[in-house]
Every structure is written in structure tokens, then in C-alpha cells.
Amino acid sequence: MDIKDILQLAKDQINKASSLEEIEKARLEFLGRKGKLTEILRGLAKMSLEQKKKIGGEANLAREDIELLLKNKAKELRAAGAEKIAETEKVDITLPGLASKIGHRHPLQLIKEKYIEIFTSFGYTLFNTPEIETEEFNFDLLNIPQNHPARDMWDTFFVKGNGYVLRTHTSPFQIHCMKKNKPPLRFFAFGRVYRYEQIDAGHSPNFYQCEGLVVDKNITLADLKGTIQEFAKQMFGHDVKSRMRQSFFPFTEPSVEVDVTCAVCGGKGCPVCKGTGWVEIIGAGMVHPNVLRNVGLNPAEWQGFAFGMGVDRICMLKYGIEDIRLLYSNNLKFLEQF
């Protein structure tokens, strides 16, 4: 085959190529190590000087032509491929986008934020204390000595063998607070507490409490009543009424429990308030003189009040939730309502 025929054959083959693979195949067939044109170039060595000049010149021109043909055809095929992709994978920029889901706060978090807002506006300062406490802070210093029957009021999770417990209430915060700060003082706390209790619609083995403490001179039960009344109004709305009932806590004397009118039924009676129209939300009282003594304060000089409330119950009441387990279920259908 002479050079002209080879060039013609290459032209036909390259023109017919419909893919980059076929282009590569043609390159190998004409310009590869054993390619048709390469063989002619290799044969030059045995030719006379005159033949070398003539045939060598023609062969080199043919090689340049073939290289150009290959390059142009490859470019053409690539452009066609891109067009095809653009056609088949076209993006319709007029379609509405997919909205990304935005998370939101858990109802207990909403109550926490409201609680912080209310008590900071009353001039209280937030004070954080640990969830694992010594028995001394959880009980003894709160006037609940070892073997005292009042310890049975809280079903306790003990940490194995070292005198630590998962706090059963936020009240140890009172001790930390009075040990670290000189009166007059006005602090509040918020956190998780633990009790070894049967789970039901109103009880969970871990739940949240918030607590407040005021120590000053000439503090009376009337100050506590006013504080709680105002808190209830701000948390539940201005129509809410509250009432105090006598109660018992070892670390307060006198002790009270505070009921508020049920925010779900407005006091008419419903399943949340078990038909009574009232819901108990707070345990409170005047700080017991023994507790003041335990932290080195003279009860003749200083008085105080403390109150503690179940955040979950407040949350249930505020949003009309009938089962505490929903707050811990991570059920999106429930959570997305807030």
C-alpha cells in the first residue's frame, strides 16, 4: 500500500469514527508502533538517499495530516458528547427548590428558656451544679440525715460504692450556692434529676426540675407567695390563680405546695388535672434553720425561701400534653408541633 492509499484509508476510517475509542483504534492502526505509516517510515533506513528524501517527505506530511484529522475528529466527538449530556441532564432552573428542614427547640427547652427569662427579670442569677452529688449534699446538709425516714421521699439511684448519688432533686444547689456566696443572695437553677420510679403518664425516672433560693434579712412567706404568683402569671398567662397548701420538706419550715389552676381547662376540670381544676407544680417553703446553720449562717440574722418545681409537669400543663413519656420519645410527629 503506498502512502496515498494509506492516507485515504485513514481519512475514511477517521471520518466514520463515532467514538473516542474508535479514534484511538485508528491512531494505533496508522501511527502506532506497528502502524501502516510507521512501517513505511521504518523502511526508509534501507532506501537510497534520493528515495529517503522523497518518500520520507511524503510520509511525514501524511503523518501530520493524519494527526490533524485525529485531533479534529476527537474534538468534534467530545463537543457532541457534551451537547448530549447537556440535553439529557438538563436542569430546569424554574423548578421550585427543595427546602432544607430546619430543626427547632424541644418543648422542655422552650420552658427552660421561659423560666430563665422570668427569673432573670426578677433579678435572680443562674447557678449550675452537678448531676452527680455526694449523699452529704443531696441529703445530709439539707437536714435529711442518714437513716432519717424522710430519705424515703426520694427513691435514689446510688453510684456504686463511693457515697455518690444521681441527684434526686435540684435542692443540693441551695447548699452549693450558700457555701459559695455571702447573703443577701438570689439564685436559680435548672437541671436533670433522677429517681428510681415506675414510669407512667405522669412519672419518669429522669426528669427536670428548676429551683430558686433567696436569702436576705426579714424575708417572709409572703415574699415567696408573691414570687410564685408572679411566676405562674408569666408562665401560664394572667388569668391563672394559685393556692398554697401546707406540706412537708425536711429542708424548709414551714413547707408548702403550690397548685395553679389548670391551664388546659382553665379550672373547669379535665384529664390533665384529674377533674379537680388544680395542678400541683411547686414544692417550697422557708429555708430550715438547720440548713442555714449547716452552711454557717445564723438563722436569727438571715432568713430565706426556696422553691422547686417539676419542669416536665409545667411543660405538660402549658402545652396540654397528657403523657410525660412523649417528652422523651423523640417522636417527630409529636415534637414538630412545637
Residue 63 sits at φ, ψ, to 5 deg, of: -65, -45
Report if residue 169 touches ligand FA5, rule: CB under 6 A.
yes
In the complex, least distance from residue 157 CB atom to ligand FA5, rounded to whole angstroms: 12
In the complex, least distance from residue 313 CB atom to ligand FA5, rounded to whole angstroms: 4
Nearer to ligand FA5, 10 or 260 (CB): 260
Q: Would you state the cell numbers that stand for residue 156, as one nine-digit string? A: 435514689
CB 136 within 8 A of CB 171: no
Q: Would you state the cell numbers that stand for residue 20, as one nine-digit string? A: 473516542
Interface with ligand FA5 (CB under 6 A), residue from 138, 143, 204, 261 = 204
Give the chain's end-to-end CA distance (angstroms, integer): 85
> Which H helix or E strand runs over 259?
strand 252-261
In whole angstroms, give the CA distance from residue 322 to residue 200.
11
In the complex, least distance from residue 337 CB atom to ligand FA5, rounded to whole angstroms: 21
Interface with ligand FA5 (CB under 6 A), residue from 64, 117, 197, 322 = 197
List, edge to edge, every strand of the sheet that includes 158-159: 132-134, 164-166, 158-159
Binding mask 216-255 for ligand FA5 (x = CB under 6 A): ---------------------------------x--x---
Report if residue 283 touches ligand FA5, rule: CB under 6 A.
yes
Report if residue 280 touches ligand FA5, rule: CB under 6 A.
yes
The SS3 call for residue 103 is: coil
The SS3 call for residue 59 is: helix
Nearer to ligand FA5, 192 or 241 (CB): 192
Binding mask 313-332 for ligand FA5 (x = CB under 6 A): x----------x--------
Nearer to ligand FA5, 38 or 290 (CB): 290
Assign residue 208 a region (left: φ > 0; alpha: ψ between -120 and 50; beta: otherwise).
beta
Nearer to ligand FA5, 30 or 115 (CB): 115
Report if residue 133 touches ligand FA5, rule: CB under 6 A.
no
- Which of the stretches 21-29, 76-84, 230-238, 275-283 binds ligand FA5 when contact is defined by CB under 6 A? 275-283
In the complex, least distance from residue 304 CB atom to ligand FA5, rounded to whole angstroms: 10
Interface with ligand FA5 (CB under 6 A), residue from 171, 242, 261, 294 = 171
User: What long-range pairs does 230-238 form, CB within 8 A, spacing at least 24?
Assistant: 230/122, 231/118, 231/119, 231/122, 232/258, 232/260, 232/281, 234/114, 234/118, 235/114, 235/115, 235/118, 235/314, 235/318, 236/260, 236/263, 236/317, 236/318, 237/263
In whole angstroms, give the CA distance from residue 170 to residue 176.
11
Total interface residues for ligand FA5 by CB under 6 A = 24
Report if residue 308 touches ligand FA5, rule: CB under 6 A.
yes
Report if residue 191 touches ligand FA5, rule: CB under 6 A.
no
Interface with ligand FA5 (CB under 6 A), residue from 214, 260, 284, 291 = 284
Nearer to ligand FA5, 7 or 193 (CB): 193
CB 274 within 8 A of CB 284: no
Residue nearest to ligand FA5 (CB): 310
Report if residue 209 touches ligand FA5, rule: CB under 6 A.
yes
The SS3 call for residue 2 is: coil
Q: Would you state the cell numbers that stand for residue 115, as one nine-digit string? A: 423560666
Interface with ligand FA5 (CB under 6 A), residue from 139, 188, 278, 307 = 307
CB 170 within 8 A of CB 177: no
Contacts with ligand FA5, residue ranges (CB under 6 A) = 169, 171, 195, 197, 203-204, 207, 209, 211, 249, 252, 280-281, 283-285, 306-310, 312-313, 324
